[in-house]
Structures are given as structure tokens and as C-alpha cells.
Chain A
Amino acid sequence: SQKIEQNSEALNIQEGKTATLTCNYTNYSPAYLQWYRQDPGRGPVFLLLIRENEKEKRKERLKVTFDTTLKQSLFHITASQPADSATYLCALDRGSTLGRLYFGRGTQLTVWP
């Protein structure tokens, strides 16, 4: 069965540094991969989508890479701010219908001043 691992349950960094989160997956070849932000008691908020034929995608301070050979995606937040503190979720498509997703457990990021 599909397995998604996000490198650590928690990551603490200092404001201004770059946060790097890892998502590894097995037993699957997704057509695309997505990253979401989730705050406590709230639904996920879409951040970025990267397709299997794309190696990198950027949006403002966010950057995502996708290595289908390693079965890994890296999610970077540059110039991190305390407001970036949240749980970040990696999600893979389950095929056939856009929106059917496998989610990782998430990495809780804390950015301290």
C-alpha cells in the first residue's frame, strides 16, 4: 500500500533561516504532488502543486522540488517568519480523479524570533 513519510514530526528554526521539509513516498508513482499548510483545528490550505515532469516550482518564498527517481519532494520556506509556524502536509494523488489524495502526517514547523 502507499506509504508517505514526512521527515520529522517537528522542526524548529530561527526566524530568517530557510526551513526544509522532506516528503518521501513508496509503492507508487504519482502524477503530481501537493503541499498544504494546516493550522490547529483548521482544514488544510493549498500551497503548491508540482507535476511528475517538473523538477522545481516556486511561489514567493516557497520552493518545491520533486525527484521521481528518489521518490522524494523537498519543500523550502526561505526567510522564514514566526507567521510560517504551522503543520505542513505533503499529499500525493491517488490517480483517476484530481482531489483524491494520500496525505502524510505532516511536519510541525515552529519559527522562533
Chain B
Amino acid sequence: GAVVSQHPSWVICKSGTSVKIECRSLDFQATTMFWYRQFPKQSLMLMATSNEGSKATYEQGVEKDKFLINHASLTLSTLTVTSAHPEDSSFYICSARGDVEKLFFGSGTQLSVL
């Protein structure tokens, strides 16, 4: 089946630094990818929709200058958390749309900001 690879699986960084997370569709082309965030015991919250070759669409309340999304090719989208702070510590998950009715999620990235 279709696979979405997310890297890194976990990252620890100092406050004020930037962190980049990659999301790749390994065996299919994804014109649209999605980025979610999940806090412990909470639901996944959609952050943004990433479209290949165009600007991402951010959900209400998500700072686009803080969470930079780039979708440069049909198989790769990146999320950069800029000037990370402890409150940005969370589980970040990407997903990609495969065929009409299926979404495939990456394995997630646990970000811890010290």
C-alpha cells in the first residue's frame, strides 16, 4: 500500500532555534498534503493544507510565519517550526491524499523544545 515517510521521528531542540520536518510520499504522487498537530490526550488538529507549487493554506489561529510550509515537489512537503518555544512541543503528523477515498499518514514527529 501507499506509504508516507516522515522524518525525523523525534527531535529535541533549544528554544529559539528552527526545526524542519520532512514528509515524503514514497510510491505515489501527492498534489496535496496536510499537516496536523497533536497534544497529549488531545485530538489531531489540522494546521495547514500544502499544495504542490503554491502557497499553503493555513487554518484559523495557525501562524504562517512561524510554521513555514514548502511543497516543492509532488512527493515532498516540509514544515519548518521557526524560533521554536516550549509551547510548540507537540506531535506533528503529515498526511497525503492517495486515491479518492484514502489518506495516508506519516508516522509523526515528536518535537520537544527545551
User: Which residues of chain A have a CB within 8 Å of any CB of chain B?
Assistant: 4, 34, 36, 41-46, 49, 89, 91, 94, 97-106
Q: Which of A91, A94, A99, A105 contacts B42 (CB 8 A)?
A: A105
Asked whether B49 is an interface residue with its Cβ less than 8 Å from the other chain, the reply is: yes
Task: Find out whether the CB atom of A44 lies under 8 angstroms from the CB atom of B44.
Answer: yes
| A102 to B34 Cα, complex, angstroms | 12
Chain A residues with CB under 8 A of B105: 36, 43-46
Chain A residues, Cβ within 8 Å of B93 = 43-44
Residues of A within 8 A of B91 (CB): 41
Q: Are B43 and A105 interface neighbours, CB within 8 A?
A: yes
Contact assessment for A42 and B43 in the assembled complex, using a CB-CB cutoff below 8 Å: no
Main secondary structure, interface of B, reads strand
Enumerate chain B interface residues (CB-CB to A < 8 A).
Answer: 4, 6, 32, 34, 36, 41-46, 49, 91, 93, 95, 97, 100-108, 110
Cβ-defined contact, B6 with A100, below 8 A:
no
Cross-chain contact of B101 among A42, A44, A49, A106 (Cβ < 8 A): A49
**Across the interface, do A43 and B107 meet the contact criterion of CB distance under 8 Å?**
yes
Known A43-B105, A45-B105, A101-B34; 18 more pairs at CB < 8 Å: A4-B43, A42-B108, A43-B6, A44-B44, A46-B103, A46-B104, A46-B105, A97-B49, A98-B97, A99-B34, A99-B49, A99-B95, A99-B97, A100-B34, A101-B44, A101-B46, A102-B43, A105-B41
Residues of A contacting B49 in the complex (Cβ-Cβ under 8 angstroms): 97, 99-100
Contacts of B6 in A (CB 8 A): 43
In the complex with contacts A41-B108, A100-B34, A94-B46 CB distance below 8 A: yes
Asked if residues B43 and A99 are in contact (CB atoms below 8 Å), the reply is no
Most B CB within 10 A of own CB, among A44, A45, A106: A44
In angstroms, Cα B101 to Cα A94, docked, is: 14
B43 touches A103 (CB 8 A): yes
Q: Which chain A residue has the least Cβ–Cβ distance from B91?
A: A41
8 contacts between A and B (CB under 8 A): A42-B107, A43-B93, A43-B95, A46-B103, A46-B104, A89-B44, A100-B46, A101-B44
Distance, CA A44 to CA B102, complexed state (A): 12
